[in-house]
Amino acid sequence: MAITLFDGADHANIWLEDLDLGEAVQANQHMIIHGREAMLLDPGGPKTFRHAYPEALSLLGHAKITRLFLSHQDPDIVAALNPWLASTNAIAHVSRLWMRFLPHFGLDRVMAQACHPIPDEGGVLDLDGAELIVIPAHYLHSAGNFQVYDPTSKILYSGDLGASFGNDYHEVTDFDRHLEHMAGFHRRYMANATAVSRWAALARQLDIEIIAPQHGACLRGRELVARFIDWCDGLPCGTDLLEPYAMPTTRLN
């Protein structure tokens, strides 16, 4: 099912959600369409491609997918990069850190040339005249990790930051109750309080209406956005919570 998050003159932000992934983790695909160009964010793996590709095509109108954005290198994001590139003639943007790893997903030389490295400091992309800001969110959770802020719709595509699991709603209404679906993931997957605090300082400089993560529900409205940023800022997570290891004794199957 496709959900329109923003619909303006010549600009649309569409959420492709609830694609049936069987045992695979739930994942959101997002598409920004401006004029005659579209960018697909975190396109997903082969299971997603079978559903998302025809659905994306049906929503494009006269636009073409010219850019793929990969927030980081996880399989639920990049595993179907080869068929996406082959089917769209798009170029893909990914952290420079992952350029030499992506060819392991079967990219041949031509496909590898379609991948453009994002420098650590991020940058600005042009989508048929609309600017999209690629902002650094390193170690949240990947060492080379980016988010996309769309100034037209005021949507921040936050990748794994803000991800929630086990909830069956599309938009957060009760932040305190929503925390139970976010907290465990963030404590384990996000690198540490320094990383989330660096992100929070940058996010506060953006005018954000919606935070749209790659898993689970969106946060809509200034109040929820501010609460989320405040919650992230200084959150003990990842290496902050590491205890000394004990020598393993459990037999593994």
- The residue ranges that bind Fe ion (CB under 5 A) are 74, 160
Of 189 and 231, which CB lies nearer to Fe ion in the complex structure? Answer: 189
C-beta nearest to Fe ion: residue: 74
Please give the single-letter amino acid code of residue 59: L
Pairing outcome for strands 155-159 and 146-150: antiparallel
Of 130 and 146, which CB lies nearer to Fe ion in the complex structure? Answer: 146
The helix/strand/coil state of 150 is strand
CA distance 14 to 5: 6
Of 25 and 201, which CB lies nearer to Fe ion in the complex structure? Answer: 25
Q: Considering the complex, what minimum distance in angstroms separates the CB of residue 248 from Fe ion?
A: 26
CB neighbours (10 Å) of residue 74? 20
81 HSE (CA, 13 A, CB side): 36
Q: Considering the complex, what minimum distance in angstroms separates the CB of residue 26 from Fe ion?
A: 13
Q: Considering the complex, what minimum distance in angstroms separates the CB of residue 160 from Fe ion?
A: 4
Of 12 and 191, which CB lies nearer to Fe ion in the complex structure? Answer: 191
Sign of the torsion formed by the C-alpha atoms of 222, 224, 227 and 231? negative
Of 74 and 150, which CB lies nearer to Fe ion in the complex structure? Answer: 74
CA distance 56 to 61: 10
Q: Considering the complex, what minimum distance in angstroms separates the CB of residue 86 from Fe ion?
A: 24
Which among 192, 201, 195, 178 has a CA at the least distance from the CA of 236?
192
Q: Considering the complex, what minimum distance in angstroms separates the CB of residue 139 from Fe ion?
A: 12
Output helix, strand, coil percentages for the chain, rounded to the nearest 5. Answer: 30, 25, 40
Of 40 and 63, which CB lies nearer to Fe ion in the complex structure? Answer: 40
Structure-token match 């595509």, residue found:
157
Q: Considering the complex, what minimum distance in angstroms separates the CB of residue 118 from Fe ion?
A: 16
